[in-house]
Amino acid sequence: MRTVPGEDFDYEELAGELVALLGRERDWLANLANAAALLYDRLPDLNWAGFYLYRGGELVVGPFQGKPACTRIQPGRGVCGTALLRRETIVVPDVHQFPGHIACDPASRSEVVIPILVNGKPVGVLDLDSPRRERFGPADARGLERFVETLIPLVNWERALECW
Ligand code: SME
């Protein structure tokens, strides 16, 4: 029997680990860096995990794990810019079938992007890539949304979005 992607992974436990790791730290950069590292370390079959921050009207790459990625993404472009504009999670089972997908690492085959909304305002996205097709399913989308909800109060977004 084929397992449904994400249903065998304990996202509840991951959210608990996130709080244990970041709960007493107020530095936004340290916390986003550790959040990306936690995802990359715990979730199997990833080749990229990290954040794009919505700074000055465009998405700018933030803390991540994986190969170097494109620095800036315009709202509405790629999976990240589309999720930001639509304000909804996008699961892409096969990146080759997503028109406008931005290929940072040619090894990526599937992707999930969760918009980060603070008081209804988009502040960035969480992006995960996998070298495996159909790596992410609805359970991953729900679990990662839960991860983002847990993360939001642990980060000073005002500071994180300052441009210089
Ligand atoms: N694939 C993304 C770009 C970011 S990288 O995957 C890290 C996109 O289409 O928006």
Q: How far is the CA of 164 from the centre of ligand 1 (A)?
A: 24
Mutate to test the pocket of ligand 1, among 51, 80, 110, 113 (most ligand atoms within 8 A of CB): 80
Predicted confidence (pLDDT) per residue in 16-67, tens digit: 999 999 989 999 999 999 999 999 999 999 999 999 999 999 999 999 999 9
pLDDT of res. 61: 98
- 78 touches ligand 1 (CB under 6 Å): yes
82 Cα nearest atom in ligand 1: 10
Alpha carbon dihedral 26, 17, 67, 131, in 10-degree steps, equals -150
Q: Which amino acid is at 30?
A: A
pLDDT band at 6 (very low <50, low <70, confident <90, very high): confident
Q: Comparing C-alpha atoms, which of 16, 20, 50 is closest to residue 32?
A: 50
Q: What is the pTM of this model?
A: 0.95
What is the residue with the minimal CA distance to atom 3 of ligand 1? 102
pLDDT at 124 over 90: yes
Q: Which atom of ligand 1 is the closest one to the Cα of 129?
A: 6
- What angle is formed at CA 45 by the lines to CA 79 and CA 11, rounded to 5 degrees? 80
C-alpha separations of 90 from 41, 98, 126, 160 in Å:
22, 11, 11, 23
Q: Phi first, then psi: give them for residue 64, nearest 5 degrees.
A: -155, 170
* Any atom of ligand 1 within 6 Å of the Cβ of 127: yes
CA torsion through residues 21, 44, 131, 146, sign = negative
Asked if residue 2 has pLDDT above 90, the reply is: no
Q: Is 62 close to ligand 1, i.e. is its CB under 6 Å away? A: no
H helix intervals, 23-130: 28-42, 78-86
Domains of the chain: 11-159 (3.30.450.40)
